[in-house]
A and B are shown apart, each in its own frame.
Chain A
């Protein structure tokens, strides 16, 4: 098992191998992604009973919660990929990290937007400086910083390294930011707008949510695969295998 994993890891370092194998893997990810998202959306929107307090507006959690979860774990994945690149000099890891950044930022943005849309009918306002909202906003800023830094560098090598260092520094800071924002919030604001998420959720509401979370993670995997494939082609564009591959595509 361990040996197999190690072999997989070493193979992952080869852009050509990744490009070929990911073409085979993609359908196996795309099909369940579509399936999970369809089932979860239809179940959540049409067949789940309305919340006794919030009515139908609660249904936005089927997009909001998975997006928020993913935005946070995508940052960790980006930082870990960056660390792999810094430690073992694996180019593929740098490309994966670069692919994750805009996807994670998009999910973060989606979580903020859906939160605002949910907040308007529920809290009566689009935005409050609630601890969760604020820390998501700061997470979005962290993503922006990483993306801006990667864009600003002249050479690909230093762009990848700078992005990796910054995302690792950000990863150390995320818990600190999160707790200090929560602390700040409890001091400055009366806790009138508490979203009782900790309360036990009814099974028929929870199951479609879990399906949606699985669907979002799969969607994330598909998007990262596709973006990384593009990165591989772009960075290896002067290599023979890419030229041959493009030629064979053109001939078809």
Chain B
């Protein structure tokens, strides 16, 4: 369970975000304008913040920039109706950790918050080794072993497996995978990611066992440590 601050001026959107995050078991605190949101984020510790870009009082970009200037490293998911690439770049450059365009599906928003929370926890532990079920990933030597047997992965396959293992047990959408692993923000089509997942499965799945990467129909994929 995490404590999340939602800074959003549109009441309906704020309610949607809060409801979804509560469904995921998080505690939600809401602020409706930039200035109050900033003061609260400076005053209280939160695990993550969802921040509307266009806010009354103080703009979302200014809020995140002041948080970073004050040394607050809480992960921030910027949410905005401005969908163009420049707006996304502005949001990330100001200090946002991820960017979501309105209108959005609440499940996707929740997934992005989960990814941010897990990344923060991993940064705190700074693990050099990832373990999930039979899979061991040595992040320093860039080696992968399944049941102790070495598996040769290509560069992007390694990154894909690392991302899935870092979010083990959680569903991640194809779009989030594409953004986080390949670093591009356009829609690559569902089939492209499916094919990459299928290739990865061939390399890490063990005969006679369920796949380590489960397909969640209509949503995405989940690494199951078993």
Indicate, yes or no, whether A interacts with B: no
